[in-house]
Structure 1
Amino acid sequence: MGEGILRPAEHPASHGASGMKLLVAAAGVVYGDIGTSPLYTLREVFAGGYGVQANHEGVLGVLSLIFWSLIWVVSIKYVLFILRADNDGEGGVMALTALAQRAANPYPRLKLVLVLLGLFGAALFYGDSMITPAISVLSAIEGLEIAFEGIGHWVVPLSLIVLVGLFLIQKHGTARIGILFGPVMVLWFGVLGALGVHGILQQPEVLKALNPYWCVHFFIVHPGVGVAILGAVVLALTGAEALYADMGHFGRKPIARAWFFLVLPGLVLNYFGQGATILAAPEAARNPFYLLAPTWALLPMVALATLATVIASQAVISGAFSLTRQAMQLGYIPRMFVQHTSSHEQGQIYIGSVNWGLMVGVVLLVLGFESSGALAAAYGVAVTGTMLITTLLVSAVMLLLWKTPVWLAIPALLGFLLVDSLFFAANVPKILQGGAFPVIAGIALFVLMTTWKRGKQIVVERLDETALPLPVFISSIRAQPPHRVQGTAVFLTARPDAVPHALLHNLLHNQVLHEQVVLLTVASEDTPRVAADRRFEVDAYGDGFFRVILHFGFIEEPDVPAALKLCHLNELDFSPMRTTYFLSRETVIPTKRIGMARWREALFAFLLKNANSNLRFFNLPLNRVIELGTQVEI
């Protein structure tokens, strides 16, 4: 997923930009990950210890497996099928989770299972976000070993310089270098295709691999390899999830056209060209990508490959930022400070804690594995896990939300589940070969997200136990009116039908009420955006009391002061100098009460203490906010 790309409403297409420009942009952002897979896929198949022989049957069998995997998983499943499962134009595992949650509303237990699956899929994405930059940049820099003897010890330091530099520039935004993404990746796919044609012309028989017969024949000739070889073949599919995740930035058609007209031909030609090189010289299996290129083109290819892998890494990092913002809006992770790196494009964001966390993970991976080959042995667990979860979620959407005829839906879904399950099963053994890193990272993030969500629910339940119903409070105010002061007081509360603790504390200690008292609830919807006419609900209770509910989509920035300006009621005045915002800051105290395990309660207390305040998250004016503390036992 890439940042800095305009939303559909701001889309270049809406200003008359040609479809070709969108196609080029999509190639630059969406296909960076899968586009750099030829750097290491075939090398891992033949040199990764799977026992595949670099002979006629082995080469044609592997090429056929790669080709038909690209056709079935990417072309059919994602491009022709999954891209249609959009949530108001948005894609990705969090958007799909919100859609599946809506589909399963009548079935509470199924809804819970789907939400947990979606959260785990999102957590696995972060593990993938660490491995992708590490393996991509390492594989590109390793081309220097072909050009220069004895330079292998420089690969890790040079890779770290490139990667650390990439993370350091994130806070400055990527608008300027982002302009180069599309043209560079178009050049990359063009070069991939040209090199592939060069190799195929030397050994045209590799084209036989287009026949699916060679897939079956491969397993007959290599009986000991079995499903395990899919653990290497899946490297050709890494990045397929980005097609769906970036749909909100470009739309379905530009992504599909870029795939069929540019990316798929370039990838297939290059894989077949590499296969031809291995057929001609089996020893070329040690690095078929670079050995496919003419000697004079080796260094330019290293430079172009490095640039392409940086672009691929940038797209993954930006995707982690976007996913984090969505998860924050949906209430699954603590609020963090989101910095906008462009005054023109809302999609360009930077989240420091995510950036530095990813950087530490990437650096540890590079130092720990030291080569793309070693990393490839660990790569694929998170990717195939996310693919499988996507299929399960979209199954619920098809059957429960779209009401797709069973005779049509079941065969397609079973086919997708079968292939995804085989790829996932092939990658499970990798957990013992280093693949535990993304899995452990995913499990840790899954625990964090579920702990945060459950902890917030418990806090609301505990506050409800002592909450004063709003009608009772208003009746008491009418019976014994306190002193009223000019202005509007806005009390943020999660429960619109109860009196906020901040209001009670203010009345208890200051013995005053404002002329207008607004109980404000900010609701996050399971749709990406909320139309302006559905932004707010207002109820007047009399005696200057109002209830306001503001609705925001899960990719929108909740700017409360700007939204309140839309409330055109004569009785309400939200002018900046007359409005004061009252916030309640809860301090959680873990106890033995029934709720969560003590260690999860302690974790939640730590997360709550360090979460970004409502003041920043809702874009409230600094000089018009009063925070009042409350202790909550959970």
Structure 2
Amino acid sequence: MTQTNTPGSKSAGVDAGGHSKARKDLPVLILGALGVVYGDIGTSPIYAFREAMHIRPGAASSVTEILGLLSLIVWALTLTVSLKYVFFVTRADNNGEGGTLSLVALARKTFTNPPVWITVLGVLGAALFYGDAIITPAVSVLSAVEGIELVAPSLTRWVVPITLVIIVGIFLVQRLGTAKVSIVFGPVTALWFLVLGFSGLVHVIGNPAVLWAFNPLLGLQFLTTHFGIAFVVIGAIFLAVTGAEALYVDLGHFGRRPIVLAWFGLVFPCLLLNYFGQGAFVLQVGVENVESPFFEMQPEWALLPFVGLATLATIIASQAVISGTYSLTQQAIALNILPRMVVTHTSETQSGQIYMPQINTMLMIGVLVLVLMFRSSSALSAAYGIAVSGVMIVTLSLLLVVMWRNWKWHPAAVIAFGVVFAIIDGGFFAANAAKLFQGGWVPAVVAVVVAVIMWSWMAGRKRLAEKTRRDEVPLQFLVDNLAKKKPTLVPGTAVFLTSDIEGAPTALLHSLKHYKVLHEQNVILTVRTSPSPRVPDDEKVTIDAYNELFSRVVVTFGYMESPNIPKALVLARKLGWKFDIMSTSFFLSRRSLKAGPKPGNPLRFWQDRLFTRLAKNASDATEYFHIPTGRVVEIGTQVVL
């Protein structure tokens, strides 16, 4: 199989002249990182300071209180994003790839028998990401479109319908592919951050005293003097750092260096300037006269184009999380955490650019329902934090394992790092959990549903494998017996797919039982998923010959790769196997699952039925492995769980 390396992978390569391609492409990668990685966090200024300021009438009525709120935002960005994610989390790459499941794979490598709780954390983090994925497009687009209320108050009733139309449009164009959809993402996002910085700088120049907010004591003073609303304020401040997880999720697309340079070179300074500018504007006109400082601090002539640019920026932020959901789902399928789904590749050169129609439809329905339920970004902001803060805690927990076992940090250093950020991340999560009944239940319910699906799928696969293994004949025993007493041989090659490397494939047993013949060449093919994102071509295929009739072929794909069996088998020619797709038949066992009675065990009863339903709706193995349909023979069997 031809392997396509992403720009940020460690095998990105060196050109013919021996110069690093990454260095030549650095400006392009930085521009791309702006559009994909920072789209979400770049739209936070629209609503983060507004929500913090409006926690309670009078809560931000004085200069000290405004500076205290700004100080909390500044240090939340500094500690959580700049220190935790940029300096530490992005270093925990798995062969250039990032994300919760990559971190799980990295942590599991250090254990001979990985503990279950690492997998549990991975499932929890992935499930929480889905909760975030349906909220980000809703709150981002809705907050931008609400700017219309300032331009033309008479259009207020059209905010929700316009939002719904934009969201439908975002999901409908996904089938075109990330490359076509995101061709303007980088330039537009770069313009967006420049406008953010400039609009904030204008007001900071008019009131430079607002820069005193760099003093962290002002933030601590605000929390201690407003202890009654401290948790609620922290929950609003957290909105400023939503999107930080994208730095790690999209690590493999751009590499660490472009992401770091984009953050410190443009994103971080422009975000700070805009937040300071909002604070300076509020101090100038008075908190009681401000409803939405982000829009109101713009000059009247610039308001309409500013709303338009903000809408484009929120579309980009939505695109980033949608693409991330596709990638996460593909990884989860490869790691057998979710059932197979249709994956459409939208690029001939970039393997990471995919479209998943089932995920796209489910996300669109979820986002539309949220907009109709909450109808305003302020109401939705209460639902925003639980999922994101939960993912941050999962990331921290797995990062501590990597620091201890992979990086060989001293346990005292690991504990010190963990305590500091456990206080920060735990505070964010507790503050957002306090909003559970104000909308925070939405991502929590989504995460629970996804986690139940994932856990039921893994448990069902394990029980199915155990039951199948009990019923199967050992492969070596079957091969030895067929060598002694050969059935009728027919020309051609038969490839039998099986996930059990020790047992005889069910399709082979049924073929012998019903057809009473055997092909001249028989290949027992097992597809495995590596804990690495990608597997080099020279390590992808291994062949072992049992005898002149049977061979064992093991094909290993990285969890970021699309499993294409015909292309992978072409590599076997280098190992001496004469492979001709037109004279080869692929035999697959199609299991019809039936949940058996579980008297006295209601948990197993519904879990088996959920697994059965998921298996029925899973994508066909022929399509998933890209096997030519005209060369496939499916043999059905019924299994009672």
Q: Are the structure 2 counterparts of residues 517 and 569 from structure 1 closer, same or farther at C-alpha, using a change threshold of 3 Å?
A: farther
Who is 1:23 aligned against?
30
Does structure 1 conserve the Cα–Cα contact (< 8 Å) formed by 2:8 and 2:255? no
| Other-structure match for 1:267 | 271
Once the two structures are TM-superposed, the CA of residue 14 in structure 1 deviates from its matched residue by: 2.5
Structure 1 contact 104–396 (Cα < 8 Å) conserved: no
Contact kept? 1:23, 1:257, Cα under 8 Å: yes
Greater shift in the superposed pair: 596-605 or 126-135: 596-605
Question: Matched residues in 2 for 1:492 and 1:18: separation?
Answer: 42
What SS does the corresponding residue of 1:150 show, helix, strand or coil? Answer: helix
Q: CA deviation at 1:10?
A: 5.9
Residue matched to 2:153: 149
Question: Counterpart of 2:570?
Answer: 565
Hey, what's the Cα distance between the residues in 2 that align with 1:328 and 1:387? 23
Pick aligned residue for 2:236 from 232, 236, 248: 232
Deviation, structure 1 residue 298: 0.3
Q: Which residue of 1 aligns with 2:41?
A: 34
1:504 equivalent to 2:509? Answer yes
Supply the distance in 1 between the matched residues of 2:549 and 2:107 (Cα, whole angstroms). Answer: 41
Kindly report which structure 2 residues correspond to 1:272-287, keeping only aligned pairs within 5 A, or say none. Answer: 272-281=276-285, 282-287=287-292
Structure 1 unaligned residues grouped into runs of 5+: none
Query: 1:596–1:508: structure 2 CA closer, same or farther, 3 Å change rule?
Result: farther
Aligned residue for 1:532?
537
Determine the structure 2 residue equivalent to 1:43. 50
CA contact (8 A) 1:468 1:499 kept: yes
The counterpart of 1:197, out of the listed 201, 204, 223, is: 201
Separation (CA, whole Å) in 1 of partners of 2:494 and 2:502: 17
2:227 is aligned to 223
Mapped pair 1:544 → 2:549: yes
CA deviations 1:603-634 (Å, max 9, x no partner) are: 11111111011101111011100000111111
- Give the paired residue count: 628
Q: Percent identity?
A: 46
Contact 2:351 2:562 in 1 (8 A): no
Query: TM-score, length-normalised on structure 2?
Result: 0.95
CA root-mean-square deviation:
1.8
Q: CA deviation at 1:266?
A: 0.5
Q: Where does 1:81-160 land on structure 2 (aligned, <5 Å)?
A: 81-106=88-113, 108=114, 111-160=115-164
8 Å contact from structure 1 (residues 47, 285) kept in 2: no
Structure 2, gaps ≥5 residues long: none
Residue 388 (structure 2) aligns with: 383
Secondary structure (helix, strand or coil) at the match of 2:491 reads strand
Over 3 Å counting, the alpha-carbon distance change for 1:58 and 1:571 in structure 2 is closer
Structure 2: distance between partners of 1:461 and 1:248: 36
- Separation in 2, partners of 1:261, 1:569: 48
Confirm or deny that 1:338 pairs with 2:360.
Answer: no
In structure 1, which of residues 348, 351, 354 is the aligned counterpart of residue 353 of structure 2? 348
Does the 8 A contact of 1:520 with 1:547 survive in 2? Answer: yes
Partner residue of 2:184?
A: 180
Mark the CA change 1:18 to 1:171 in structure 2 (over 3 Å): closer, same or farther: closer
Amino acid at match of 1:507: L
Contact kept in structure 2, 1:284 and 1:291, CA below 8 Å: no
Deviation larger for 172-181 or 93-102: 172-181
Distance 1:320 1:486, change over 3 A: same
In 1, Cα distance between equivalents of 2:23 and 2:51: 45
State the secondary structure of the residue aligned to 1:345: coil
Counterpart CA distance in 2 for 1:49 and 1:121 is: 32
Q: 1:166 aligns with which of 163, 170, 176?
A: 170
Which residue type is aligned with residue 379 of structure 2?
A
Q: Which residue of 1 aligns with 2:593?
A: 588
- Which deviations, in whole Å up to 9, do the C-alpha atoms of 1:164-217 show, x marking residues without a partner? 111111112232341211111111000000011111122211110001120122
The one-letter code matched in structure 1 to 2:44 is S
> Which of 53, 78, 86 is the matching residue for 2:60?
53
Amino acid across the alignment from 1:102: K
CA shift, 1:479, in A, is: 3.3
* Contact persistence 2:8–2:96 (CA under 8 A): no
Could you say what secondary structure the match of 1:583 adopts? Answer: strand
Residue 401 of structure 2 corresponds to residue 396 of structure 1:
yes
**Contact 2:96–2:255, Cα closer than 8 Å, also in 1:** yes
Aligned residue for 2:559?
A: 554
Question: 1:50 & 1:421 partners in 2: Cα distance?
Answer: 27
Per the alignment, do residues 600 and 91 of structure 1 end up closer, same or farther by CA in structure 2, a change over 3 Å counting? same
- In the alignment, structure 1 residue 406 sits paired with structure 2 residue 411: yes
Give 1:7 deviation, angstroms.
Answer: 5.8
Alignment check: 8 A CA contact 2:197 2:273 kept? yes
CA distance in 1 between counterparts of 2:71 and 2:283 reads: 14
Contact 1:458–1:595 (CA under 8 A) maintained in structure 2: no
CA distance in 2, matches of 1:136, 1:331: 32
Q: Does 1:522 align with 2:542?
A: no
The Cα shift of 1:596 comes to 6.1
C-alpha displacement of 1:413: 2.0
SS in 2 for 1:563: helix
